[in-house]
Structure 1
Amino acid sequence: MADTPNLPAPLDSREQHILENLQQLRAALNLLKQDRTTYVKSSDVMPLHEQVLVEVKKLADIRADKPTEDNQVDRVLDGCFQLLSLFFMTIGRNNEAPAAYALTSTIKRLLDHLIEVDLYSEKDLAHCSQTLERLRHIVKASDASYSPYLTTQLSNRIEVCQISLTTLQERLARLAPELVPIHEKLISILRSLSLANTKAKFSTTEVKGLQAQIQEVDATRVDGKFVSTNGDIPAGNDDVCALLNKGLRWSEMVLERKGVFPEPFNSKYQTLVDIRNKLEKLSLTQAWSLRETDLYDVQRQLDRIDESRTDGNFVDADGNFAELYVQRTLLYLIRRSYGYIYYLMVSSEPVSEALLPVYNQLQTLKRCLLEVKESGGVSSPRELYPYSMKLNSLDNMRVDGKFMVGREIPEGQGSVIELLSECFDLSYDLRVAAENESEKE
């Protein structure tokens, strides 16, 4: 999370010493993050992880009688854990407890925003629920391997997220089944409106088309209410009607502004658009261009903007609150960016970045072989030669059955070898099918 100056400095001199040590460790982690001359290895990360845990143990002993203390030490420690968590993903140790830390931070941000804006569907919650359950299993399985402080803290963070998730699920439960599809459609249209509003080139035609979709839903109401097939007003009618009216007002506002942003907030708007666009690009090229630790600086920048609000509102340099149009647009960009960060984290493969070039080539090869199979296979085994040559060249990279980088055995061997086996199996099946077809002819 962001470094903010409003947290007090530690009063206890022993904590001051811990703060200095943690700041040095965070600086070391930042240096490692910035080094692109080589792959990050477990041997780079684990010593720093152990040193952070030493400071955590000291802090826990000092605070035995004051567990609610919160000062600059906690913020710097959070930064260390965030970085370590992303490093664990980078080296392919996604299924170990430290990797869960960054995800819990992002999920909490996402859920807090959903509670604030009350604009979400069951699909949004289902994925978060599955991820939290997976993190629970990871933390539980790591109990014996990691510091009790870390696993207890992670369990608590997961449960805090679960409380927020349950609140959101209870809100959705108030809708009658027949209103759920209407609710989901309106959510989708509202998001499309917000996306159209923040595009580099504003399209009046696109926005009017979305407005027409809301008007079509509006036309299904009877005397301003949604009515079920038996003539009753279903539960949640007022909520869905409020959402529909919000959509109509928002479409009018977007058409009126045409993407022009007021000067006092334009700098913040441009920063958020740049962050959103950068994350969107990463989400499209993730397999080839993402080092998970790259997300740290982006999320810290986002957190700072999010935390700069006063009573939930953005304010300009003179302390004036943002108008509704500005507020909604900036919040949409923040939520969208956190959504991309979440997607990039959960999509991270449990493979070290040192093995990612091989893993990504195998992923591409598997997709090609599947497409060949689904399109009817090959007419001759000779057509499989390019695939076989590529497969054999990747297989020949192994030393004693393992993919090596220098003298290192990077994490994720199992995932890469399993993928290699799947490709060989697909290639074999295609060759056998082609040979059988040739014999018949």
Structure 2
Amino acid sequence: MITFIIDDKKVSAEEGATVFEVAREFGIEIPHLCYHKDMEPYGGCRLCMVEITENGFTRLHPSCAFPVKENIVVKTDTERLRKGRKIIAELLLARCPDVDSVINLAESLGVKEARFKKMDSDCVLCGQCVRVCRNVAKVGAIDFINRGKNRYVGTPFDLPSDDCIGCGSCNYVCPTGSMNMEHENVLRWRNLPGTLRKCRYMRMGFISHKMCPNNYQCWNCELDQRMEDLAKTHPIFILKDSRSKEKETIGNFEIRFDRFYHEGHVWVKRINGLMRLGVDDFTRQIIGLVDDMRLPSIGTTLESEDTLFEISGNEKTLLFYTPIEGDVVHINPDILDNPSLASMSPYERGWILTIEPMDILRVSKELLSGRSAKEWLKHEFNEFHDLVGQETKTDLPLDKPIPKDFAKAVSKDAWKKIHKTFFIKKRKKKRVKLHRIEDIQ
């Protein structure tokens, strides 16, 4: 348990809980707009900002995205915070002057009129619809378009989306009622021939096969009612926990579908606007137990394909290159204490570092995910076994993990070829200075 102070009260909370969650648990209400309990924190609306004092320094942080820490002091209602929230409320009221939920929120913060030029919009740009579609439904049919005051949520080129599965989760999480993707697609699907009129629960993956017999009037469907009763929320959130842990084995290499992949065998996971990076199961099996690392220092600015980090094990070394342009903002403290975590838990506790990307949307589009990641790893599996057979004149079993001492057993020349073939996909730009673990600590 972690002990800290919030609004002059000493409280205890589980490690990993956010300040926002703990505040709610103890009856402290913090204004918010983009938070949803069934989705990862976003911190976009800035209404939930709180003052946090840590090591003698007080800073503003979004409470929904800030994990509790030992001995921090949290203030949720100060003059500074009230002024900031009022400005945000005015901006929201200027953007959506006729939306009841925005009007009520503004009034609760003491704002009745906006001093800014009014717009005629019913979307507050909270991003809940985008996130539930991409991160929970795993579809990504909608996204933010344009920037500044011209920003809005839509489909590519504002055309009807063939990716939309009609689950209605975007409508469900929208705080203002502006999202109508489900309705628009239902009108289109009603004109499809019978064999293409797929039930939305089939599209979501709950059932294997069912054509809609109700002309997409889901309120007349017994299955829809049963699913609503079972979920007690939108049914898409039933899939959340299982999908976040989904994994599959390609050949004998494990792949996780809640993250992106770079062809140099670095995985990437989006977390609150940052990118967490680590090595994949392909790397883990090839090098065996990692016993040392060389890492960039916090604050290092990386360009695409710069050197990222180096890992060593079984008397061999692998050098990795970054798929992301940005700044190194965090290094996993557990990996500094125990580098072998990169082998023992490569997708969880063994993550290596976090980067603040220069362009998070571009990075997400350039990396591999889903079907493309599966096809790539299948190709890597086949090429690896072919190369090992050529270089060592022995055949590794296709249905079993690679021997733990594989790296130690292969020759230096064979290792160099493996490294060049699977980990150096592009010519490097520059070699970033990497430091020994003890120098970082």
TM-score between the two structures when normalised by the length of structure 1 = 0.19
- Structure 1 or 2: more helix by fraction: 1
- Structure 1 or 2: more strand by fraction: 2
TM-score between the two structures when normalised by the length of structure 2 = 0.19
